[in-house]
Structure 1
Amino acid sequence: MQMACPIVYIIDDDDIILWMFQEFLQGIGAEIRTFSSARQFLDAYRPGPHECLVCDLRMPEMGGLEVQRLLLESGSHLPIILVSGYPEVHSAVEAIKKGAFDFLEKPVNGGLLVEKVQSALARCRQMHAEKLVRQTREARLALLTPKERQIAELVVDGKSSPKIAEALDISVRTVENHRARLMEKLHVESTIELVKLFL
């Protein structure tokens, strides 16, 4: 399966900064999308698997912290690199605490911007892969009946079939039948694989 081209979104109300950042990032193999306002970006943004945002902290109408807040409220985990032309330690700390990927001060060094954007894109790709693993795991576990789920959880807790049978007041043979069915449904061949699925 071919990976989609990464996307780097840049928001800044200064056209020269937009052009300069676009020039810095030209050779990284990503599609660069620029926006002169946060509202313009938010109206156009559709979450994807391999992307990041470089956003000015202070802009008319809506700044970077507000963009970050709105994205988080919408459930987006888009890695954000905030940029500011002012020494703003408090804002930088607040942004990082709220999940910003990084914070850069203007004037931004082109090499540093490239490095931070590549790291943010890698982080986004990793988060997307982890999300797919979670969704696959949840879909597989949803196939289990309540009894199979209960038995699976007891197996994962280290209980033997006789102990499970005793705890649930059923026969060992019934436990073994449920275990065989749930292992088949989950496509696992060992207790270790089952434990990993529940982690």
Structure 2
Amino acid sequence: MSGEQSVAIVDDDDFFRKALERVFRSAGFRVESFASPETFLASYIPKEEACLILDLRMPRIGGLELLDRLKDRGIDVPVIIYSGNADVPVAVQAMQAGAFAVIQKPLSSELLISQVRMAIAETRPRRARRLQVAAARAKLGLLTERELEVARYLAEGLSSPEMADVLSISPRTVDAHRTNLFRKLEIKSIAALARLFVLDELGDS
């Protein structure tokens, strides 16, 4: 486990929400709870090592609609939805919308805790990749437009003379750009440069 794990609970039922707060605090989680989806959307700050628990049926904004709004905002956090009357079509719809799990009330505390830990663990590689992509894009963003051109050609395997011909500059100028971009990116090999471009492309997949 890396870092403190946290749970955000969204439920308009005060009694049930507070019961879940106690369950997760006693299990060692950092807990945030929200009495409405509107309050959650207005104040929630995404965290690493986190899971969101939603009631399926709430006034105005239900669990499925809230799940859609999270996706629209680019908030990538595993979601577990629970309901007292989640029939099969609704459960399938929730899973297709991206929910990690749909759990039927009455809830087993042990099952809910294990599902939350599993959701956090299984989405950890995706979060790690997201951080790697962001770091790669930040590094590539340090380059000038010409340096970025040279970097792409380097990653594709072109030699200095070949790049000089394509870019209509001298091989010496190409080598100067290469030296500068390696320094800016804090790398020492073309393999490391190629990895940055691979990560950049992964972010669009």
Q: TM-score, normalised by structure 2?
A: 0.82
The whole-number CA distance in structure 1 between the counterparts of 2:9 and 2:151 is 47
What is the one-letter code of the residue matched to 1:162?
P
Alignment correspondent of 1:42 = 41
Alignment correspondent of 1:85 = 84
Q: Equivalent residues in 2 for 1:162-177 (5 A)? A: 162-177=161-176
What is the one-letter code of the residue matched to 1:149?
L
Alignment correspondent of 2:201 = none
Alignment correspondent of 1:58 = 57
2:14 touches 2:35 (CA, 8 Å); kept in 1?
yes
Q: Equivalent residues in 2 for 1:49-198 (5 A)? A: 49-122=48-121, 126-198=125-197
The whole-number CA distance in structure 2 between the counterparts of 1:132 and 1:46 is 17
2:64 touches 2:97 (CA, 8 Å); kept in 1?
no
Q: 1:164 to 1:45 in 2, by over 3 A?
A: same
The whole-number CA distance in structure 2 between the counterparts of 1:177 and 1:34 is 55
Give 5+ residue unaligned stretches, structure 1. none
1:21-63 Cα offsets, whole Å, 9 max, x none, are 3343234322222333323333332223332211110123321
The whole-number CA distance in structure 2 between the counterparts of 1:145 and 1:41 is 40
1:11 touches 1:18 (CA, 8 Å); kept in 2?
yes
How many angstroms does 1:154 deviate by? 0.9
What is the one-letter code of the residue matched to 1:57?
L
How many angstroms does 1:149 deviate by? 0.7
1:51 touches 1:124 (CA, 8 Å); kept in 2?
no
The whole-number CA distance in structure 1 between the counterparts of 2:157 and 2:23 is 54
How many angstroms does 1:146 deviate by? 1.3
The whole-number CA distance in structure 2 between the counterparts of 1:94 and 1:158 is 46
Identity of aligned residues (%): 38
What is the one-letter code of the residue matched to 2:170?
S
1:62-92 Cα offsets, whole Å, 9 max, x none, are 2101211222222222321111222422222
Alignment length (residue pairs): 197
Q: 1:60 to 1:145 in 2, by over 3 A?
A: closer
After TM superposition, the structure 1 stretch with the greater mean CA deviation from structure 2, 79-88 or 124-133, is 124-133
The whole-number CA distance in structure 2 between the counterparts of 1:43 and 1:190 is 45
After TM superposition, the structure 1 stretch with the greater mean CA deviation from structure 2, 120-129 or 52-61, is 120-129
The whole-number CA distance in structure 2 between the counterparts of 1:55 and 1:160 is 55
Q: TM-score, normalised by structure 1?
A: 0.84
The whole-number CA distance in structure 1 between the counterparts of 2:173 and 2:109 is 65
